[in-house]
Structure 1
Amino acid sequence: MAGVGEVLTSIVLREVARKLGSAARDQVTAQWNFTRDLDGMRTTLESVNALLRLLRDAEQRSALEDVKVYSS
């Protein structure tokens, strides 16, 4: 028959294992979310960069048109 100490040890070890498993799962979830968030930020920055290129190109075209009108 198991003694009280063995039963308590078993209960404590089971609880420690449960908490370690939960902590490990939380860490994996946090890493997954972080990676997903970084991917989203990268996509957003790429979109902003593309928009800035379009605006810069439009500004240059507008400046060229102004020069053409001025020189005509």
Structure 2
Amino acid sequence: EEIIQSIPVEKLLTETDAPYMTPHPFRGKTNYPKLIKYTYLKMAEVLDISFEALEEQVRKNTFALFKRTNI
């Protein structure tokens, strides 16, 4: 939680290729990209913003990283 709070929201990115780092409530099972929702929910809680606001910001950050403008 401290790490997430220390990163400006305009710099946050996420990834889904950690097969053994399954989010709660699926600990002990194989991780899949579709479970990113649970990571976003926890991140939004820690940052005290809505899930939708976090999702939109991470999308903007990803597009900016790859220099895409058609958001």
TM-score (ref. length: structure 1): 0.25
TM-score (ref. length: structure 2): 0.26
Q: Which has the higher contact order (CA 8 A, sep 6+)?
A: 2
Determine which structure has more spread, i.e. the larger CA radius of gyration: 1
